[in-house]
Amino acid sequence: MGWEDIARWMIDLLNRFGQSGIFAMMFLENLGIPLPTELAFVVGQTMIVSGSASYMSVFLVSLVGKTAGSILTYFIGRYFADKIKHIHAKSSRLKRSQEIFARWMKKYGDLAVLISRLVGYVRPWASYLAGIGEIRFVPFIVYNIIGSAVIIALSMAMLGVVVELWRNYGFLRPYLAVALFFSFAGFWIYIVLYPKYRGKKK
C-alpha cells in the first residue's frame, strides 16, 4: 500500500464517520499520536461545501476534539510521567520537544503553552509537557484553546481555498493532488526518517 492509497483510505474513513471521525482524529493527534490532521480539515471543508455541515460545527468539533485530547494528555503528564519514563528513553522527538518547551517555560512562563500550540514540531506533545512542567490548569486550558483555535482557523482557511480550486478549476486538480500527496507523504517521511537522521548526526 503506497502513500496515496493510505491517504485515500483515511479520507474514505473520515467521510464515512463524518464529524465523529474529525473529532477522533483531532483527539488522537493531541494524545501525541502523529496523524496528518490536514486530511480531516479537507473532509471538513467538503462537508461545508456540500451543505452537510456548517463551518462553525466543523470548527467546534475540531476544537473540542483537540481540547479533550489535550486535557487527558495534560493530566497524564502531570500525574503519571514518572510511570512512563520508558517513552522518553525511546523517543528522540519527545526528548527534543521537552528541551524546547523547557526553554520556552523559562523565558515565557505559562505563555509557553500558547507558543507550543502554534509550532508543529512541539504541538503533539505540548499538553503532556505542560503537565510535566506543572503549569496551572486554568492558564493551560485558556492558552491551549486559543492556540488550537488559531491553528484550526488557519488550516480551514487554507484548505478551504484548496477545496474551492479543486471544485471550480478542473485543470488544477492534478497539481493540487500532487501537492496534497507530497504534503501527506512528507509528513510521514519526516516522522520516520528525521529521528534516524538526528541519531546519525550524534
| pLDDT higher than 60, residue 118 | yes
Query: What b-and-e string marks burial along 99-138, b requiring 16 or more CB atoms within 10 Å of the CB?
Result: ebbeebbeeeebebbbbbbeeeebbbbbbbbbbbbebeee
**Residue 58: exposure state from Cβ atoms within 10 A (0-12, 13-18, ≥19):** buried
Residue labelled with grid coordinates 500500500: 1
Q: Are 153 and 118 in contact (CB under 8 A)?
A: no
Q: Which of 72-76, 119-123, 148-152 has the lowest mean pLDDT?
A: 119-123
Quote the DSSP letter at residue 30. Answer: T
Q: Is the dihedral of CA 75, 84, 33, 24 positive or negative?
A: negative
Q: Which of 49-58, 115-124, 161-170 has the lowest mean pLDDT?
A: 161-170
- Higher-confidence residue of 199 and 57: namely 57
Give the pLDDT score at 196. Answer: 53
Span 124-175, pLDDT tens digits: 788 999 998 899 999 999 999 999 999 999 888 887 787 777 777 878 777 7
Q: Are 26 and 67 in contact (CB under 8 A)?
A: no
Mean pLDDT across the stretch 86-97?
Answer: 71
| pLDDT higher than 70, residue 88 | no
Q: Which of 37-46, 78-87, 113-122, 133-142 has the lowest mean pLDDT?
A: 78-87
Residue labelled with grid coordinates 527534543: 96
Residue labelled with grid coordinates 463551518: 55
- Higher-confidence residue of 177 and 31: namely 31
| pLDDT higher than 90, residue 96 | no
Q: How confident is the model at residue 6 (pLDDT cuts 50, 70, 90)?
A: low
Residue labelled with grid coordinates 523565558: 107
Give residue limits of the domains in the chain: 3-201
Amino acid identity of 145?
I
% of the chain surpassing 90 pLDDT: 32
